[in-house]
């Protein structure tokens, strides 16, 4: 099955260093910006939070948010 035939949003399960497509689609959404990330360009995600990020900068921002929120505990 070609994952890119479906033009909608994919459902993806993220692991450390890999991901599995649960429901085929053309893209996932960036958790920070909401930008559509084509699956063949997906490089940044957080397996614990099950979130995708469009760029290194957005993944770093998410990590910063995560670190700051854990400081408050």
32 domain residue, yes or no: yes
- pLDDT for res 7: 85
3 domain residue, yes or no: no
55 domain residue, yes or no: yes
1 domain residue, yes or no: no
Count of other CB atoms within 10 angstroms of residue 37: 23
42 domain residue, yes or no: yes
6 domain residue, yes or no: no
Domain residues for the domain of 50 are 11-71
Tally the domains of the chain.
1
| pTM score of the predicted model | 0.80
45 domain residue, yes or no: yes
Residue 5 has pLDDT above 90, yes or no: no
Residue 58 has pLDDT above 60, yes or no: yes
């Amino acid at each position: 099955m070609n994952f890119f035939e479906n033009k909608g949003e994919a459902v993806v399960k993220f692991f450390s260093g890999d991901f599995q497509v649960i429901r085929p689609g053309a893209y996932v959404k960036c958790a920070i910006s909401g930008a559509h990330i084509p699956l063949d360009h997906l490089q940044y995600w957080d397996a614990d939070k099950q979130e995708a990020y469009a760029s290194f900068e957005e993944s770093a921002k998410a990590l910063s948010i995560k670190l700051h929120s854990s400081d408050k505990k």
